[in-house]
């Protein structure tokens, strides 16, 4: 009964490597390590929500069996990122005796790119000293933030965003388990708002399921605070064709109806640029403008003024045709 009350990201998390969706090359390598009962230290790099933690937990279960919980220390470096975490918890666990049939323990350090440089330098020495009885798995979004001495002690695996087909497969599995009616347009909408992030896709599906067992495209966009791609495209087309007031009206409508922030709107405009029926050169100039106004928002400028200014720039680009 306890699993009924878990968030779906945990309830439907794959338990073994064979159940992991996507990342085929990496998963095949991990399966080979399980068969050999041996493995190097590893660095998992890639954007969030694509299976780095899931692959680690599944590896621990396949490798250690019923002893997986006692053989795996899971830490999040964003919570404790100083040198004391390396000198304390990590070193204490690394020097303890392994249990089960595998002669080493696993230490999983999630968000390792949040570790301070001093902590990373302490970690590299710990990885050397206890290499005979402990294996380290480091997970990060940006491998460039991991110091070179630590990277050189790890086998690096790059995790890629999931494809729409892989997300559809997992969504159908969850919908079947929860008795949901999920149509193809709703699946496409969830894949769009997730951007290859399975965690985000699962949360969007669970959020929509709270309102109705029948999941529709409109419900998905409303729950996810995302506008339909068609509506964003209509807004940009109106600005490009010189109808600035119409584009401004659509912008206000999107902001009110979906509660979109300026950053959300700019991101969706960026994703729709390739679908616009405008010359290639104009698309390049438009991407440049989107980057400029995104930077302004990051720096703290007023989002409504900046988005309207971006629409004005799009209109000026369109008027150059004349």
Between residues 109 and 79, the one the model is more confident about = 109
The set of residues, in sequence order, having a beta carbon less than 8 Å from that of 213 and lying 6+ positions away, is 179, 180, 181
The lowest-confidence range among 173-182, 250-259, 288-297 is: 250-259
CA nearest neighbour of 15 among 75, 55, 69: 55
Q: What share of the chain is helix, strand, coil (3-state, %, to 5)?
A: 65, 10, 25
Q: Are 141 and 47 in contact (CB under 8 A)?
A: yes
> 49-90 pLDDT, tens per residue?
899 999 999 999 998 888 788 888 888 766 666 666 667 777
Residues 295-302, mean pLDDT to the nearest whole number? 92
CB atoms within 10 A of CB 25: 10
Architecture of the domain defined by 2-158: 3-Layer(aba) Sandwich (3.40)
Q: Return the domain boundaries, the chain.
A: 2-158, 164-224, 229-319
Give the containing element (helix H, strand E) for 106.
strand 105-110
Task: Looking at the structure, give the CATH architecture of the domain made up of residues 164-224.
Answer: Orthogonal Bundle (1.10)
pTM above 0.95, yes or no: no
Residue 113 has pLDDT above 90, yes or no: no
For residues 84 and 192, is the Cβ–Cβ distance under 8 A? no
CATH 1.20.272.10 assigned to domain 229-319? The reply is yes
- What is the 3-state secondary structure of 32-81? HHHHHCCCCCEEEECCCCCCHHHHHHHHHHHHHHHHHHHHEEEEECCCCC
Scanning the structure block, which residue is given the tokens 């001093």? 118
Please give the Cα distance from 218 to 183 (Å, whole number).
11
In 3D space, the residue among 232, 235, 255 whose CA is nearest the CA of residue 245 turns out to be: 235
Q: With 50 as the cut, is the pLDDT of residue 110 above it? A: yes
CA distance 322 to 312: 16
Residue 134 has pLDDT above 60, yes or no: yes
Phi-psi region of 256 (alpha: psi -120 to 50; beta: other; left: phi over 0): alpha
pLDDT score of 84: 65
Across the chain, what does the average pLDDT equal?
87
| Residue in the structure block whose two tokens are 């304390």 | 88
């Amino acid at each position: 009964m306890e699993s009924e009350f878990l968030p779906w990201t945990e309830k439907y998390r794959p338990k073994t490597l064979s159940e992991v969706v996507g990342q085929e090359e990496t998963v095949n390598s991990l399966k080979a390590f399980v068969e050999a009962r041996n493995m190097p230290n590893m660095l998992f790099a890639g954007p969030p929500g694509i299976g780095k933690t899931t692959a680690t937990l599944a590896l621990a279960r396949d490798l250690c069996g019923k002893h997986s919980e006692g053989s795996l220390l899971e830490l999040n470096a964003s919570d404790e990122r100083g040198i004391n975490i390396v000198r304390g918890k990590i070193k204490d666990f690394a020097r303890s005796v392994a249990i089960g049939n595998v002669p080493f323990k696993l230490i999983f350090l999630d968000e390792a790119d949040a570790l301070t440089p001093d902590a990373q330098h302490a970690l590299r020495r710990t990885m050397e000293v206890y290499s005979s009885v402990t294996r380290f798995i480091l997970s990060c979004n940006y491998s460039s933030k991991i110091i070179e001495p630590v990277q050189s002690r790890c086998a690096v695996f790059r995790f890629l965003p999931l494809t729409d087909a892989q997300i559809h497969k997992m969504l159908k599995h969850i919908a079947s388990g929860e008795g949901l009616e999920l149509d193809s347009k709703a699946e496409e909408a969830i894949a769009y708002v997730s951007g290859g992030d399975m965690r985000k896709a699962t949360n969007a599906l669970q959020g929509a399921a709270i309102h109705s067992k029948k999941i529709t495209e409109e419900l998905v966009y409303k729950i996810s605070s995302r506008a339909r791609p068609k509506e964003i495209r209509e807004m940009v087309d109106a600005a490009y064709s010189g109808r600035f007031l119409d584009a401004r009206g659509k912008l206000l409508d999107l902001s009110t109806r979906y509660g979109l922030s300026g950053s959300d709107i700019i991101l969706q405009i960026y994703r729709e640029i390739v679908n616009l029926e405008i010359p290639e050169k104009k698309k390049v100039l438009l991407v440049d403008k989107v980057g400029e106004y995104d930077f302004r928002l990051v720096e703290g400028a007023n989002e409504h003024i900046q988005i309207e200014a971006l629409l004005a720039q799009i209109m000026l680009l369109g008027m150059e045709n004349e």
